[in-house]
Each structure stands twice: as structure tokens, then as C-alpha cells.
Structure 1
Amino acid sequence: MADPAGIDEDRVAALGRERLDWRFKAVPAAAHGSTVTEYLATRPTLDDLGTPLLTLDATALGHNLDTMAAWCAAAGVDLAPHGKTTMAPALWQRQLAAGCWGITLANLPQLRVGRAFGLRRVHLAGALLDPAGLAWLAAELDADPGFAFTSWVDSVRSVRLMDAALRAAGAGRPVDVCVELGAPGGRTGARSAADAREVARAVRAAPTLRLIGLAGYEGALAHDAGPAGLAAVRGFLTDLLALYERLRHDGSFEDADEVLLTAGGSAYFDTVAEVLGRAAGPGVRVVLRSGAYLVHDDGFYRGLSPLSRGAGRPLRSAMHGWARVVSRPEPGLALLDAGKRDLPYDEGLPHPQLVRGGGAPGGAVTALNDQHTFLRGAAVRIGDVVRLGLSHPCTALDKWSLIPVLDSADADRPRVVDLVRTYF
């Protein structure tokens, strides 16, 4: 059954009955044959797990969940967190239960995962143009009147391709779309307000589509919180708001039950709420799509999140890497048994935080190979297990199909309290 929060709670609960085996690299061989629920009942600890390893922290997850929910409520905006960050239905369920408006996804494979777990409201942050995918979507919409779906378009050709594919599929319900505004140097999106208005006119002329709002992604325009980056973000959002006002004046949203204005990754959502929030009110919903807040990190987002820059209570990193020293081949160099196949590295290298049973090791990670971490200048011995701070959750969880959740990564003997299943 689908719960009020918008996901099939029975399907999520069934994850506890999955049998553990060799497919899950985080799980020790001693657990093979047990279900997830049976294994957790043995009260395993971090010491029972091997390396390399990625873990989540239950205390930090709870803190981040509550912190973001409270911030959005105070700012008067809704949140449809980007599910691509975790691709974990159990975490989506927690986000929805905490008040999230829906779940954002990025592409057709992710959408199929979401529907397999009964997601009721999905915002697809991009264009869906694949004819076979649109035929599948049309069937999903027609079979389930409670399924709410929105995607984006940024060109007249996109509109025509969607309309043709949906007509060919015999779609009964129109597909709700937002016109996406972009900016030079950004990612997708119409590059001018004039182009966006032309796309809006094309949507209104397509009987298989319904124009319900505007979308944009400001995160592609800046990579820091310096004055130039923040100015670029604010300028883009101001343009998006002006486009909304023009289209509203033109009557472009008269078929929409509610107008949707959506932007906001995990780096500048405070500015999104401030600028687009001016339009929020009866009949207009402002929705953030921040996805990294739940897991957060000890790198890129720790430095860039608005809640790290004074906009509210800071988030906490809920992910850590664990790797064992397997070689000291020369003075000052230690090799750990985790690499690019295990840990994120695209937005900064891991950094050593502590040695299990000891203190801070010092030193720095200078490189990652496929299976090894190069740690230099650290006070570690062969056999030591090092906890690593990580950067960028969006490229961390995809390396693990089952992730242990610890009661607290800071405890002397962390206990495994859950196993989170991902579907990348």
C-alpha cells in the first residue's frame, strides 16, 4: 500500500527480508544466508565489518533530516529532494515522512526505480524524450490516477518530440511539464526569456502536454560562495522570477491547478528561497530540489552549504570511509585498501580523521588509484584502520549496493543499526 507520504511502505519494508550474500561487498561472509533483519538482530558492530567500507551515521542523518525540514518550513518553501544522491528508497521514505513534497529524479532508469517502490509524486529534473520511455510513462499515468509526474522541456523541438511520442502511445492523461530556463555557460535550459516564452507557447499548443511551471538549475553557474558566484546565482534566479511574471501576465499557466517554480541544488537554496519565494502564495508553490543535505559531507558541501555559511543550524556529515593500512613501502607513505571503486574523489580527495583505537593520524591523502589510497605523512602502522572524511555524497553511495548505518561513527564501538539498499 502507498502511505500518505507517497511511497509503498510494504515494498520498502520488504527490503528487510532480502538475503545477504556475496553481492554486497560491505557484508561479512558470516552474515551470508541471513536476511537483513536477522543480521541486524545479532547487533553487529563496526569491528565485525571488513575494509574497504563506506558507512552512514544514524545520528547525523536524523539531525540533517530535522534541520532541513525546519529550515524549509521557516522559509515557506517546499522540498522535493533529488533522489539521485542516494537512490535509496528507505531514505526517500524518511524524507517524505519528514514532510517532503515529492522526490526529484534525473532520468528514466531512476524513474523506474521510483515507481517500483510506489513513489506517488516524482519531479523529473530534465527532459524525457525517449519514445519507449514516454510510452511507459503514459501507461503508468493512465493506470494510476494518483501518480503525479512533472518533467522539463527547453526547446520547441523537445515539445514536438514529446507530443508525437505520447500521441503514438495513445496517452490518456496529459504530461505536466515545466519550461526550463538556462543561462550561457550553464547546463540545459532555454538560453533567453524569449526562447522560453516560445517553448511555453509550444507546450500550450500540444494536447498531450500541460504547462504547469518553470524550472532552473543555478548550481551550474557557480562553484563557490564568493561574490561573483553568488551574484551569478542571484541574477539567474531574478531572471527566472521575471519570466514567471511575464508568463503569468500572458495567461500561460491558466490550465495549471497550481504553478510550480523550482530551482535549488544543495549549495544556494537560501538564495532560491529568497528570490523565488517572493512569488510563493495561493496557487504558486516554490520547490527546492536539494539532494545532498541528508548525507552532507566533510568537503565540498561542508564549505558551500548555506547552513555552513550562517543561514541556519549547520548540517553534519553522515558518511565516512574506512580503510586499512596494507603497506608502508617507503618512509612517509602508507597505502590503504580503498580506492576510486569505493570512495568519492571528484570534488576533493578523502582526508584522514582518526585511527580506530587511536587518535588523529595527521598526514594527507595525495592520490587514489582504483583500489588504493595514498596517505602521506601520517602516523599509522600496517593493519591500522583509518576513518576518512569524504566529499560529495552524489558520487559516494553509487559505489555501494548495501550500506551499513552506524549508531554513531564517533562512538568507541559503533554498532550497525541498519543496512541501506541502493539502486544505481
Structure 2
Amino acid sequence: MKKNREFIQEILNSNLDTSIKGISEISKVKLKNIPKKKWNILNEDVQFPILTINKSIFRKNIDSMHMYASSNNIFLAPHSKTSMSPQLLLKIKNRGCWGFTVANNQQLSVLLRMGINRIIIANLITNKSNLLNLFKLTNKYSSSKIYLCVDSQYGANLIYKLAKEYKLNTTIRIFIEIGNKNSRSGIRNINSFKLLCSSLKKLSENFLIAGVLFYEGATATKNYSKTLKNIDRCIKFSFECISYLQKNELVNPRECIISGGGSEYFDLITHGFKKYKENNKIQLIIRPGSYIAYGHGYYQRSLEKINNRKKLFLSNKSVKATKLFSPSLELWSYVISQQDKGKAILNFGKRDVSFDLGNPIPLAIYRNGKIYKKLKETDKNIKIYKLNDQHAFLQFKYSYNIQVGDLLKFGVSHPCISIDKWNTFYMIDNNHYITEAIRSFF
């Protein structure tokens, strides 16, 4: 526990200066002292562009997901890849969760240094160096429970071979990953599942089968109705698999787990769990990540789809996702050039923000430190139509009268891919004061 505190203190005592995006100070300032500076976005106390996360909205989002999980008797293992920030993850942990999810050993090592007790690696390892690294981490942090995914004979045999060569002094839990045809990874049918179980039975007592895991988002298609059917099929298959594990006494009786549920379809996973569940010995763990920030555009539409599905319940009462969750991440940037009518250039680009799920969406225009014009997310008269590495191309209705030197606030479409471009981003209050500098570890 002492080493865990040392890691957090190491972060808080780290020095920031103008070599870090967003910082104007030339001299070094400790991260923990940033709140004392009372830097304000609108007062230009920072460098632009700058990525911020709204404190009150972030808090509301994590409170809402915690309440949702508790109300529906399911467990929460948020995916850390969204922020990879020990500071934010500790806020989630303190609010309450079963554990966390990671995508690889690098992310795992960060969470182990934090002292997280339960960690799911929601990915597959099929090479020697990565698996040996996992074994070493598991031995070093033996008090933490680590869950590893397997979906192939090759993966199971590699574990068997390396476990004989490397002495483990603790236990690794195994999730058998399942999936749908033409989705991502994961066993596709019950016969293949049974064959893999036979291979896993050969593993030493240092390995325990904990259940099955899937990612329903990988089954999505452009046809929404087909997507819903694919997700239901995936949930139903997970129960067929867990039933086989139970009947053949292959699963750890103290941890009989089905895990699914990202930030887009967690309502369907919970609904399907209740629909197909046959006994109370099965635990459901959902793994949403983007819910801490969601996003404008793509994720806002995802929340509206959850509204329309009407399968989101708190204390057996139907609720709207848009009442529980809101976008919390924003990018601030200045207009640096305007040479063509109805067009302008801003000082951010692909190096600063996501664009895979859509370009940033203008939310407000500020002039001389004050709000000049609020914008609706659906406003078609203003948009980013192109991004270079360090420049953004804005097109707008000429009557908007945007000028060089105006500050614009943008919503981002994909929080995960935006945050990983910032080794430090900033929490702000509703008055635009920076309350915390947030380190990320990608």
C-alpha cells in the first residue's frame, strides 16, 4: 500500500512547464500546485489548444454508472483505456467498482502500481515475451487478481508451455472469450468452446477458469436491427457457454462470471442477463470506459439510441440515458487565420483530437474573454470540414462573423482517441477555472 501511495505522490510531485501542452509557465510548477494558480481558460492563463474535462459532468457520469450497476445487481469494471489516468481512475475506485479493465500489459502495469485489486485484461496474448511479462507482473503484484482472456488452442498451449518453464507463485484467472461470426476475436460456436475447455483443463492449479467474456460492440453493423440481433445472439451464447462450464465443474464456483457491456450497449447486456439468467450463481460484470466523458456527435447519438430502446432502468424505473450521462470533454482553440470568406483556420489538428468517429463539433464562440455565441451541436451552418496535423479548417455561415483571435470551444467525438494525444489534460469547473492537471499513461 505504501508503494501505491508513492506512485500517486510521484504523479502529484511531477513538474510541468511550457514543454507540456496547455502550460504557459516557463518555470517548472508541480502538478499538485496547479489548482493554487487559479488558471482560467477565458483569461488566457494557459496555452492553446487545450483539452479539458468538466469536473461536475465527470462526477455526474461516474455517479450515474455506479448507481446503475448497484440498482441492477451487476458489477462494474470500467475500461481504463479511455483515460489511462490514475487520478481519474482513483476517483472512480473511490466511488465504488468491482475492479478495472485494461487492454495490454503496459496498462496493466500502471494499474498494478496503483494497487488495484482486480484487473481484467480484455485482450489476447499469443506471444512468449508478452506472456512472460504478464507472469512476472503477476508474481510481483501477487495480491492482485488478474484475469486473462483466451480464445484459441494456440493461446492455451502457450500458457501451458511457459507456465512449466516459469514458476508462478500466484493464481491467474482465465476468461474464455466468445464472439459472433465476422465480429472480432472470440470462440464462435459451442463445439470449439468445448475443445478449448479440454485444453485449459491441462493447465496447472495456478490457473482458474472464471467464466466467459465478450465485447458486443464488435458485432455492430451498419444495419441497426441486425446489430441488435447480433448482440442478443452473443448474450445467449454466453449463457450456453457458462452453463457448460457449470455442468462440467470447470468454472471456479466462487467466480462464475459473464462479462460484456461497453458504453454503447450496456443496457442491452443487463437486459439480456436478466432474460437468460437461470441461476443466482452467475455474476455479470460490465466494462464501459467512455461513459466518463461520452462525447458529442457519435456518442451523443448512442445515448439517444439507448433512450429509444427503453431498456435502461434504475430501481425498476425506466430512465433516459441523456438524463444520466453527458459529454464532459472539450477542446479549446483559437482562430489564427481567415483569408477566405466563410472559412477560418484554427490552431489544433489531428495531433490534438480524435477524428475517426467524426470531426470536433463547435459548441461556442468566445470573444475578448466573454461568450459571443452559443452553438447547437446540430447546427449545420458551422463545422470543421478538414484537419491537418496542427491545423483545423472551419466553414461557417458568413453572418456568424467569426474573426481572427476568437476562441472556440469544441466537443469531441471519441474520448479515448482524444485523451491519448495528451500526456496531461485539465479538469475545469463550470467557471472555466482549472481545478486539476490530469496525467495520462498511454
In the superposition, the TM-score normalised over structure 2's length comes to 0.89
Residues in 2 aligned to 1:89 and 1:15: alpha-carbon distance in whole angstroms:
9
Residues in 1 aligned to 2:230 and 2:93: alpha-carbon distance in whole angstroms:
31
Q: Secondary structure at the match of 2:291?
A: coil
Structure 2: segments with no counterpart, 5+ residues: 313-318, 376-380
Q: Which amino acid aligns with 1:374?
A: F
Deviation at 1:181, TM superposition (A): 0.7
Q: Secondary structure at the match of 2:16?
A: coil
Q: Which amino acid aligns with 1:24?
A: I
Q: Any conservation in 1 of the 2:100–2:119 contact (CA below 8 Å)?
A: yes
1:364-379 aligned at under 5 Å gives the runs 364-378=383-397, 379=400
Q: Any conservation in 2 of the 1:364–1:376 contact (CA below 8 Å)?
A: yes
1:379-418 aligned at under 5 Å gives the runs 379=400, 380-408=402-430, 411=431, 414-418=432-436
Question: Who is 2:374 aligned against?
Answer: 360
Q: Secondary structure at the match of 1:200?
A: helix
Question: Who is 1:290 aligned against?
Answer: 288
CA RMSD across the alignment: 2.0
Deviation at 1:22, TM superposition (A): 3.9
Q: Give the direction of change, closer, same or farther, for the CA distance of 1:233–1:256 in structure 2 (3 Å limit).
A: same
Q: Any conservation in 2 of the 1:241–1:275 contact (CA below 8 Å)?
A: no
Q: Which amino acid aligns with 1:26?
A: G
Q: Establish whether residue 12 from structure 1 lines up as the match of residue 8 from structure 2.
A: yes
Question: Who is 1:64 aligned against?
Answer: 61
Q: Any conservation in 1 of the 2:104–2:123 contact (CA below 8 Å)?
A: yes
Question: Who is 2:45 aligned against?
Answer: 48
The one of 145, 148, 151 aligned to 1:148: 145
Q: Which amino acid aligns with 1:292?
A: S
Deviations 1:132-184 (A, max 9, x none): 33333323333444210001000111100112112211223342111111111
Q: Establish whether residue 324 from structure 1 lines up as the match of residue 343 from structure 2.
A: no
Residues in 1 aligned to 2:440 and 2:132: alpha-carbon distance in whole angstroms:
26
Deviation at 1:40, TM superposition (A): 1.9
Q: Any conservation in 2 of the 1:200–1:211 contact (CA below 8 Å)?
A: no
Residues in 1 aligned to 2:105 and 2:418: alpha-carbon distance in whole angstroms:
21
Q: Any conservation in 2 of the 1:307–1:315 contact (CA below 8 Å)?
A: no
Q: Secondary structure at the match of 1:387?
A: strand
1:68-107 aligned at under 5 Å gives the runs 68-107=65-104
Q: Any conservation in 1 of the 2:77–2:98 contact (CA below 8 Å)?
A: yes
Residues in 2 aligned to 1:165 and 1:204: alpha-carbon distance in whole angstroms:
16
Q: Which amino acid aligns with 1:421?
A: R
Q: Any conservation in 1 of the 2:126–2:154 contact (CA below 8 Å)?
A: no
Q: Which amino acid aligns with 1:191?
A: R
Q: Any conservation in 1 of the 2:109–2:137 contact (CA below 8 Å)?
A: no
Q: Any conservation in 1 of the 2:297–2:361 contact (CA below 8 Å)?
A: no
Q: Give the direction of change, closer, same or farther, for the CA distance of 1:146–1:173 in structure 2 (3 Å limit).
A: closer
Q: Secondary structure at the match of 1:29?
A: coil
Structure 1: segments with no counterpart, 5+ residues: none
Question: Who is 1:25 aligned against?
Answer: 21
Q: Any conservation in 2 of the 1:20–1:33 contact (CA below 8 Å)?
A: yes
Q: Which amino acid aligns with 2:411?
A: G
Q: Which amino acid aligns with 1:300?
A: Y
Deviation at 1:280, TM superposition (A): 8.3
Q: Give the direction of change, closer, same or farther, for the CA distance of 1:341–1:280 in structure 2 (3 Å limit).
A: farther
Deviation at 1:120, TM superposition (A): 2.0
Q: Any conservation in 2 of the 1:134–1:166 contact (CA below 8 Å)?
A: no
Moved more, 148-157 or 121-130: 121-130
Q: Give the direction of change, closer, same or farther, for the CA distance of 1:303–1:144 in structure 2 (3 Å limit).
A: same
The one of 136, 156, 159 aligned to 1:159: 156
Q: Give the direction of change, closer, same or farther, for the CA distance of 1:283–1:139 in structure 2 (3 Å limit).
A: farther
Residues in 1 aligned to 2:139 and 2:69: alpha-carbon distance in whole angstroms:
33
Q: Any conservation in 1 of the 2:426–2:436 contact (CA below 8 Å)?
A: yes
Deviation at 1:397, TM superposition (A): 0.2
Question: Who is 2:316 aligned against?
Answer: none
Deviations 1:280-322 (A, max 9, x none): 8654321001000011111211111365545233311110011
Residues in 2 aligned to 1:139 and 1:365: alpha-carbon distance in whole angstroms:
47
The one of 107, 124, 129 aligned to 1:127: 124
The list of structure 1 runs, each at least 4 consecutive aligned residues, that deviate by more than 6 angstroms after superposition, is none
1:262-277 aligned at under 5 Å gives the runs 262-277=259-274
The one of 21, 29, 38 aligned to 2:33: 38
In the superposition, the TM-score normalised over structure 1's length comes to 0.92
The one of 238, 241, 262 aligned to 1:240: 238
